[in-house]
């Protein structure tokens, strides 16, 4: 089989590459290869079982059409200042232009026209003043909230549109390797993702890697094997914090999502908030080797009494160790070990008191966990000292912005690790040193989140058309 364009991964960057090729009337034979299922066949049993059953051969929350985006909180960040390093490659003005273009595509497929965080400037000024008092920086970023359930509806429409437009999507197929001859990629080797059998070769003139965070580790191994230029990037190690809506009420109402950055003493590493979910639910994602990672969801119609958000501590490695993804996995494995394979939760006050949290203590608190099968325990026995101190000091700084944030009852869930660590060396056309091989989205190390990954896909579609590839 031969195609003009082979896209590996049906996450936002891969989807929007194909979508833009259609919109530009590109006369191309296009194939998307996806390890998971179509979006209409993705289902997490936990909604009924109330506990993770470790679906095989992969987790349906992280794998399948639209990637983890279909089951995420579904927020589109509408500022070039949020979402990774793409502006450093193509410039901030061009990035903002294509954010607006891509946002309109989401609107065409049914996204909520309401934008959060653009009103009540005096209230925003007050939040910023408090942030400055706490030595934090508030990043202005309008947010379009799709909602977890609405995101699935939108991506279902996009999936059907691609199929109706003649895009071939092979589900339950995984790429085992790429074919490289004399510095030029010729195709991919694929197998059935369920049986790992029936190996075959698919040839393509252009091979686009868009494997998302789920495929970042795999892509790193491919880069090493075929000498694709890449470098160790940043690993984010953190926790997901859960507090009552009453504590976050003002920030939720004014900004919906408060994007705050600090460099707390004594280490001065970058620490930031990420993925805030007012009235949301803490969730679990499973990665390869049964690695359980915490995340958060926020629905349009279904609400809880709590707000959750991630606090992430950024770390870089160079010599002699330069394997940030492996480092993050080891931290996650330790936390999982203490939780007997489940997400671990601990009260902030218990950490300060130097004790673990017990299950019965959670039932006595004002903050009731929204992740029903989280296990009470001791995060400090697994998360390394440096990121743990960064997180605790950042929580104290957050208490200046949001009084009550550092309550003894505030819940910390772990591990929250972001696997977008290796950065692939690409040019302005997103091409690697292997001719015909392109890398997009979070697995490339250049983007973080739905919007910027989608933008990179749109740009890839434009590049293919404009360059006459």
pLDDT of residue 424: 94
pLDDT of residue 140: 85
pTM for the complete prediction?
0.88
| The pair of three-digit structure tokens given for residue 154, joined into one six-digit string | 């939108």
> HSE on the CB side for 151, CA within 13 Å?
25
pLDDT of residue 49: 73
pLDDT of residue 87: 97
CA-wise closest residue to 68 among 77, 78, 59: 59
CATH topology assigned to domain 2-111+147-231+422-466: FAD/NAD(P)-binding domain (3.50.50)
Write down the domain spans for the chain.
2-111+147-231+422-466, 121-142+233-418
Residue ranges in the chain modelled with pLDDT below 50: none
Return d(Cα 203, Cα 365) in angstroms, integer: 58
Return d(Cα 278, Cα 447) in angstroms, integer: 24
pLDDT of residue 48: 73
Q: Map residue 108 onto helix, strand or coil.
A: helix
CA-wise closest residue to 414 among 366, 364, 351: 351
Burial zone of 265 (CB within 10 Å; 0-12 exposed, 13-18 middle, 19+ buried): exposed
Q: Report cis status (omega within 30 of 0) of the bond before 57.
A: yes
Burial zone of 300 (CB within 10 Å; 0-12 exposed, 13-18 middle, 19+ buried): middle
DSSP 140: P
Return d(Cα 468, Cα 126) in angstroms, integer: 51
Q: What are phi and psi of 59, to 5 degrees?
A: -80, 130
CA-wise closest residue to 125 among 351, 386, 311, 401: 401
């Amino acid at each position: 089989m031969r195609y003009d364009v082979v896209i590996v991964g049906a996450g936002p960057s891969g989807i929007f590459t194909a979508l833009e090729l259609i919109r530009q009337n590109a006369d191309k034979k296009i194939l998307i290869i996806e390890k998971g299922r179509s979006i209409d066949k993705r289902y997490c049993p936990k909604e009924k079982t109330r506990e993770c059953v470790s679906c095989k051969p992969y987790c349906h929350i992280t794998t399948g059409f639209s990637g983890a985006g279909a089951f995420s909180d579904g927020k589109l960040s509408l500022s070039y200042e949020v979402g990774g390093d793409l502006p450093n490659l193509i410039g901030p003005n061009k990035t903002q232009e294509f954010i607006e273009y891509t946002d309109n595509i989401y609107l065409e497929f049914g996204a909520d026209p309401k934008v959060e965080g653009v009103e009540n400037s005096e209230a925003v000024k007050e939040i910023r003043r408090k942030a400055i008092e706490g030595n934090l920086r508030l990043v202005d970023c309008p947010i379009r909230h799709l909602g977890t359930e609405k995101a699935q509806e939108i991506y279902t429409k996009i999936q059907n549109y691609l199929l109706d437009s003649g895009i071939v999507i092979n589900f339950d197929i995984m790429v085992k390797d790429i074919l490289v001859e004399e510095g030029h990629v010729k195709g991919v080797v694929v197998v059935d993702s369920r049986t790992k059998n029936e190996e075959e070769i698919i040839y393509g003139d252009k091979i686009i890697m868009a494997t998302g965070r789920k495929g970042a580790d795999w892509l790193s191994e491919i880069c090493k094997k075929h000498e694709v230029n890449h470098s160790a990037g940043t690993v984010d190690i953190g926790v997901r914090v859960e507090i009552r809506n009453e504590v976050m009420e003002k920030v939720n109402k004014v900004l919906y999502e408060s994007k705050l950055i600090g460099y707390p003493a004594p280490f001065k590493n970058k620490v930031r908030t990420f993925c805030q979910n007012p009235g949301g639910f803490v969730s679990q994602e499973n990665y390869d080797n049964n690695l359980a990672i915490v995340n958060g969801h926020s629905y349009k119609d279904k609400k809880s009494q709590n707000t959750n958000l991630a606090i992430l501590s950024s770390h870089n490695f160079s010599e002699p160790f330069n394997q940030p993804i492996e480092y993050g996995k080891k931290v996650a494995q330790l936390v999982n070990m203490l939780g007997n394979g489940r997400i671990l939760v601990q009260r902030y006050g218990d950490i300060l008191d130097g004790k673990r949290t017990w299950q019965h203590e959670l039932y006595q608190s004002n903050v009731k966990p929204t992740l029903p099968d989280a296990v009470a325990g001791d995060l400090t026995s697994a998360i390394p000292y440096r990121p743990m101190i960064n997180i605790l000091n950042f929580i104290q700084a957050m208490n200046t912005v949001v009084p009550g944030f550092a309550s003894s009852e505030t819940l910390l869930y772990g591990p929250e690790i972001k696997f977008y660590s290796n950065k692939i060396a690409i040019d302005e056309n997103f091409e690697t040193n292997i001719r015909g091989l392109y890398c997009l989205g979070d697995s490339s190390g250049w983007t973080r989140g739905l919007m910027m990954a989608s933008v990179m896909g749109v740009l890839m579609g434009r590049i293919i058309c404009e360059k006459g590839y």
